[in-house]
Structure 1
């Protein structure tokens, strides 16, 4: 597979010898994140069966240019699919093109088939009513708020956007989506159609009847592994049955085309292979935007993949905009982060859970491009088992996400940034990504800082994969719920697993007492325990002069884990130089909420600000500690408060 860029869209071409090309059309938002592993498995399988396949991100999504609030996204995505069809025909020489989409992507593919000639259409559980789909998205968000962030106050006014797990649809898009309805919007323009239906619903039956009435060669089949393809659960297997069904249908109706053409040799398909070896740097696909330029990179002997984002240069067509918030930031920092000297600073964004390198709700893409506008380069990367790295796995277990191998991969990313000329790199991670960044910073002496957000664990063993903490909230959440009538109602109705929660809370308390006891024994010559090992690691970082930013939500379960190592209010850790710890009530665990991402951006900028201040030898308490910037990409942000100040 080879990275490509076309019309401000980023994608991967899985080339093959066949004459029939397949274009995969993503679903929307969180479903696109969940589908990524299965979508890659489908593309690789199609390529092995001689079907050149293109998977890509629509403009305003994934690694492509643009933002989600730029006008009518539905129309933008339809145009992106049309661009993909043209690219496939012009750059691979295929004779036939098939569109394959799941959920909203299946609907978009069908609408594009009305506009331009294609030879086949695969619709996998398509959205048949835009109005009903909006209701479904609102229900998902409401359920998530009630379970994952009940302590965070919702907005008092009704917003004009629709928000679902960190993604937003804005008014123009909502109006267009509300008008989408199948089969009313369909035209019998495509000769071959495959419909995979997980529920055999009345709506999908109407789509099937429409095509049959217009003499379209249409087939319908079950979609039994729908959940495997479209699930946030990372250890589900790839949907091999549906993949095989698609391959069989393509062979039957469009032929495999084996040996008809040679795989294309695109001049833009090469990537930067190794920052330390300029002689292997070729013309790479680049994506330019306002103040940034992005290049795909493959490193560590072809094992790892990332997107290198750096400030746009004057020679390119994307000047930094005149942004008052950027000016305010630089003035407050008293350090010019756009100067050439700051090229030494860089940020590495690590995977969150099993999500690929764009981050939950595409947050790493947004952060990388904002930093580029401020003069800071970054690398958002996939560890070896995830995303678009060579050895990405179809099924991911929690132990794999916390393995030392994955930590070493993040360390390789740190070294890549240093070799590229950024001598002061800092990794940034959330949850399991924070775990990877912590251990990578410990093992790589070239790291000068780290930002750790909502880190659940500091040590890991296989038994941790089944610990109730993976599903049970922090003790503070249950204590706060005592005052809520709706929680008592759910308790008495049997909706809350009281036994599991009670056992977990009790075990947490016993573990806390056990660690305190081990500390006492260690003082009298006992063996070092987990607490001692974690503290020793942080002491090592402090001795190396590494600056560490730690951020937790007030009710995050990881906060409890941290306090068991460092004491309440992080008393032990705050005694080390270079350690900065904050907590915030409005921080949900995955940072789906926009206020949480406001805080994250503020923390990252402060971290860089402090590093630049130290580098410039500014006096403590001077200009470097002046008032913080009050604006960022997500809106106005109040100052952060330290743990000690809040409690």
Structure 2
């Protein structure tokens, strides 16, 4: 895989020798976080089968510049797919392409290929019934995630006029443009299309659509996307539907054009993308397993500031929950601080390790962090602030233990300082949560009254996933932590290996920022290793502890991410810490059991 920059966005090209390529049009927001790994595995499989594949981000999304405030976003997204087709052809020399659209990409792709003569096939994976249905589901997600968050008393921003779903924003203009989108009509204009249609569940409307294409002289395969509910359950606790990858690969293989031609020469100049106050360099760090990342550099660098190394929060891709890693990187750059946001091996768009690893908490991942530090040092960044949320905090902590180039350490909502078998309860019980989920409502082209194929106008696949999963997950994690404290409480408090490791890190002068959100389970984990209220951690030299109010584990609210970024800027620039009046609390956190559990 190699990065490219085109049309003011970043793309990831999977080279191959075939004369027919593939463009993947992905999802948006929470659905993008859940599916980016899935689509990357599809891209890798197709490239291994001889078809060059291009993944990219829509304008204002992912790694692309801009944000939700840009006008004409839906038209820009459609044009973005068309631009990706053109760039894949010019970059690789392929004659024509297949387009694979997932969720939002499936809604947009038929419009993007309208009137083009270089489209050899179209795969629509889990397409929304319509733009109206898509927005109904997105609004449902917003009500379950964002509206459920506690109100923040210090909020000063004007109310947002669009829809916020899992922290991702869609402006009112974008919402209105999405609501009127219909993809079926564009297929009627292409009677010769070779279509792969993979809804979560096959309904009568899907069968009628496929039969209509066949009658018109085209080809249509209709296959259920088994495992869609598990895929979309969570970016971290989901399961990749390998059978769906097989279906797409088999369909594409039938349409491929194998070749032994020479690949186009690669421009030796590293690609970069300029934005407002920053320059970004998408990179792939070799050797295998390849690590995908984006180095964000300031226009005016702050002398002596370390580079911020932003690790994955759980299995969330490098753009971050609510696009938080991207926004943080660019804010840091505007303050003179460089950053590198990455996908560790096995996560996001990076390569899969050849050996089997423990998910998220494998000790070998700290070696991958050291590889990134080596790469950064070769480019003039001798010191780094390793940081991450949840599992990212774990990997940053253990990398700091072994590498003194980590001069600053940021741990946000750490749920595990040191892995042992007891923590496996969390993962085992999350699988129980997944198994408890109800079936998805089938989606099909809507009837004229707006109802779905089963006649239920309000049914939402995403809603059925999240409504059942959220309380079960919360209970599962709390139960696992309770059992863990009984299994290891006394022994851990006696041996205190984590405390000793932290003392070694701070003893060499590393500055440490530990952030927890109110009522987050990380408060219990901190107390488990450092005593009630984390008192022994608080007394260590160079440690700053901060409590963020009215926020969840992944820092969905804007104010929470702004507080974290502000504190990082203070730490990395040497400026005075953000005062408590700005919203962050640095006094002892509440909500921790007095006995340290």
TM class, shorter-chain normalised?
A: 0.7 to 0.9
For 1:165-564, what aligned pairs fall within 5 Å after superposition? Answer: 165-184=166-185, 186-189=187-190, 191-205=193-207, 207-208=209-210, 211-212=213-214, 214-227=216-229, 229-232=231-234, 234=236, 238-252=240-254, 254=255, 256-259=256-259, 261-267=261-267, 282-299=268-285, 301-303=287-289, 304-312=291-299, 338=300, 341-342=303-304, 344-391=305-352, 399-467=358-426, 507=483, 510=486, 514=490, 519=494, 529=495, 532-564=496-528
- Whether the 8 Å contact between 2:518 and 2:589 is mirrored in structure 1 is no
Name the SS for the 1:400 alignment partner.
coil
Deviation at 1:585, TM superposition (A): 2.3
The match for 2:587 is 643
CA distance in 1 between counterparts of 2:136 and 2:354 reads 33
Deviation at 1:446, TM superposition (A): 1.4
For 1:85-96, what aligned pairs fall within 5 Å after superposition? Answer: 85-96=85-96
- Whether the 8 Å contact between 1:25 and 1:55 is mirrored in structure 2 is yes
Name the SS for the 1:71 alignment partner.
coil
Deviation at 1:567, TM superposition (A): 2.1
Greater displacement, 185-194 / 76-85: 185-194
The match for 2:567 is 603
- Whether the 8 Å contact between 2:388 and 2:396 is mirrored in structure 1 is yes
Taking a change above 3 Å as real, the CA distance of residues 422 and 48 of structure 1, as seen in their structure-2 partners, is closer
Higher RCO, 1 vs 2 (CA within 8 Å, ≥6 residues apart): 2
Taking a change above 3 Å as real, the CA distance of residues 463 and 25 of structure 1, as seen in their structure-2 partners, is same
Deviation at 1:606, TM superposition (A): 2.0
Deviation at 1:191, TM superposition (A): 2.7
CA distances 1:590-644 after superposition (whole Å, capped 9, x unpaired): 11222221222122122223xx35xxxxxxxxxx36869xxxxxxxx92422133
The match for 1:272 is none
TM-score in terms of structure 1 length:
0.77
- Whether the 8 Å contact between 1:385 and 1:393 is mirrored in structure 2 is no
Give the gaps of 5 or more residues in structure 1.
Answer: 268-281, 313-337, 473-494, 520-528, 614-623, 629-636
CA distances 1:463-514 after superposition (whole Å, capped 9, x unpaired): 3122489769xxxxxxxxxxxxxxxxxxxxxx87999789657646646862
CA distance in 2 between counterparts of 1:426 and 1:305 reads 19
Greater displacement, 375-384 / 212-221: 212-221
- Whether the 8 Å contact between 2:14 and 2:43 is mirrored in structure 1 is yes
CA RMSD in angstroms, aligned pairs only = 3.3
Deviation at 1:561, TM superposition (A): 1.2
Deviation at 1:546, TM superposition (A): 1.0
Give the gaps of 5 or more residues in structure 2.
Answer: 432-470, 592-597
Taking a change above 3 Å as real, the CA distance of residues 575 and 514 of structure 1, as seen in their structure-2 partners, is same
CA distance in 2 between counterparts of 1:550 and 1:572 reads 13
Name the SS for the 1:580 alignment partner.
strand
Taking a change above 3 Å as real, the CA distance of residues 646 and 356 of structure 1, as seen in their structure-2 partners, is closer
The match for 1:279 is none
Taking a change above 3 Å as real, the CA distance of residues 503 and 216 of structure 1, as seen in their structure-2 partners, is closer
Deviation at 1:77, TM superposition (A): 0.8
- Whether the 8 Å contact between 2:518 and 2:551 is mirrored in structure 1 is yes
Deviation at 1:39, TM superposition (A): 1.0
Deviation at 1:552, TM superposition (A): 0.4
CA distance in 2 between counterparts of 1:499 and 1:60 reads 36
Name the SS for the 1:449 alignment partner.
strand
Taking a change above 3 Å as real, the CA distance of residues 205 and 170 of structure 1, as seen in their structure-2 partners, is farther
- Whether the 8 Å contact between 1:411 and 1:441 is mirrored in structure 2 is no
TM-score in terms of structure 2 length:
0.83
- Whether the 8 Å contact between 1:294 and 1:308 is mirrored in structure 2 is yes
Deviation at 1:75, TM superposition (A): 1.2
Taking a change above 3 Å as real, the CA distance of residues 500 and 408 of structure 1, as seen in their structure-2 partners, is closer
